[in-house]
Amino acid sequence: MSFLILVRHGQSIWNLEKRFTGWVDVGLTNKGEIEAEKAGLLIKEKKINIDYYYSSLQLRANETLKTIQTVLGDKKDFTKAWQLNERHYGALTGLNKIEMSKKIGEDKVYEFRRSWDVKPEALDKNNPYHPINIETYKDMPKEIIPDTESLKDTYERATKYFEEEIKNKLKDKNVLISAHGNSIRALCKKLFKIDNNQISSLEIPTGNPLLIELSADLKIIKCKYLDEKRAKDLVVF
């Protein structure tokens, strides 16, 4: 038996401002820092020893993980992987979701945010929000940096990384992943066999650890959000 814990980062500055964030690096709000600390306390209560930690390359997920580790008193190094990054929102990056809803309609914004295979227009490479212009990605080969992504694209990169780098460790070790709404949505789609139509309804709350108990052959025994009050309106697996 082993445990997989999935944690979306605490509330970020652009979450608060309701902006499409994607691959842009923004930090946590005060609320986000509190959420990360509470996530650590909820995990600590379970007395689960975490053997491996993973995160994206992005600041908000890294800050969340570091706070969790501080609460746990765990100084292990963690692995950063771009494949666990948030979905790239293309030309929507940096724009306000409410303003865009007024401009192009709520249905279109919802389609861009939650559909399976619809991509926003590509982000111009001269835009300062394009990853090739952000210090975080200076060591990434430019040819693998996307200009835009659908949830399907995010699913393919995140689940490929999970299969190749993480899955085998779960046979007898416990793993915690601190990532993002769409990369965690992608992992949940695979783990819980959620179909393409249902995935749009899956809400991933900030800073609320999803604890998944696995059998020796990696079958899901049970799962639950540790902050149950904040999980009451979520899709039940």
Q: Where are the beta strands (DSSP E) in the chain?
A: 2-8, 52-55, 79-80, 175-179, 210-214, 220-225
- In this prediction the pTM is 0.94
Give how many domains the chain has, as a whole number: 1
In a domain, 237, yes or no: no
In a domain, 49, yes or no: yes
Report CA dihedral (19, 20, 22, 25) to the nearest 10 degrees.
Answer: -20
Q: Residue 136 is part of a domain; what is its CATH number?
A: 3.40.50.1240
17 is known as an active-site residue:
no
pLDDT along the chain (237 residues), means of 10: 97 96 97 98 97 98 98 97 97 92 81 84 97 96 96 97 97 97 96 89 93 93 92 61
> Does the residue 236 lie in any domain?
no
Q: Is 121 a residue of the active site?
A: no
Q: Which of 17, 35, 63, 86 is catalytic?
A: 86
pLDDT of residue 101: 84
For residue 156, the enclosing domain spans 2-231
What's the pLDDT at 233? 61
